[in-house]
Amino acid sequence: MTTTVKEWMSNLCVDEDDEFVRHRNWGFTIYRTGHGPSSDQQWQRLLQKIRTDAREGALIATGSEENDPGFQQLWALFRLDARSDPALAGLTMNQLRELYNKREGEQPMNTDYNLHRVFLFADDAVLSDPAAAIIKAVDADYRPEDYVSRNPRVGRQRYFGWMPMKAASVAEFWNRLQFSDMSMIAPPTIGGSHLVIWDGDNWK
């Protein structure tokens, strides 16, 4: 999905009493729950890949050049709020949701930002990938009862509040969340199983 630097920056504006106050950061909180052998190196590799590919993705989405002052301002607002406290080891997705929504300590990113109330996490499965190519995105507001089909013609529940996605697609994911909530973005599951990995327009 393409946009412009001006549009992207406009969506980051924070107003109070109809007056511009500041630009918010864009990006996500990412929790590390996997702490297996060699996971420290994989964690750092994953974070670097996300940052590098987010920059490239934002350049492509906005049609900008590296030396464009507007793009440099936009990129300066990118944050990857990485959390790898050993106390997070082994936490489930629901436990991470609870932690995110409690907002204890340093507030996670986007807790007050409508459609962007999403976080990323890296468990043992994510950190076992040598290519550091996949992460998991989680809808912080997911409630199972909201997505259970009450119409048998529609079929079974298709959305379960999270999806695997390409680590290279973080900028595209952010951009999509400007217009749709995660339940509309995530590929449908079959019996709760994720058969595709979200990669923007290209599901793989």
Banded pLDDT at 186 (limits 50, 70, 90): very high
Q: Is 150 among the domain residues?
A: yes
Q: Is 90 exceeded by the pLDDT of residue 106?
A: no
Angle between helices 170-177 and 39-62 (to 10 degrees): 60
Q: How confident is the model over 16-74, as pLDDT tens digits? A: 877 888 999 999 999 999 998 889 999 999 999 999 999 999 999 999 999 999 999 99
Q: Is 173 among the domain residues?
A: yes
Could you tell me if residue 90 is left (phi over 0), alpha (psi between -120 and 50 degrees) or otherwise beta? left
Q: Is 198 among the domain residues?
A: no
Beta bridge partners of 14: 22
CATH number, position 154: 3.40.50.800
| DSSP per-residue letters across 35-68 | --TTHHHHHHHHHHHHHHHHHHHHHHHHT--TT-
Q: Is 12 among the domain residues?
A: no
- Provide the residue range defining the domain that includes 138: 25-54+76-185
Specify the amino acid at residue 19: E
The total number of structural domains that make up the chain: 1
What is residue 99's three-state secondary structure?
helix
- Dist. CA 169–CA 57, nearest whole Å: 7
Q: Is 134 among the domain residues?
A: yes
Q: Is 13 among the domain residues?
A: no
- CA 194, 200, 203, 204 dihedral sign is negative
Q: Is 102 among the domain residues?
A: yes
Task: Look at residues 68, 74, 81 and name the one whose alpha carbon lies nearest to residue 27.
Answer: 81
Q: How confident is the model over 84-98, as pLDDT tens digits? A: 999 999 999 999 999
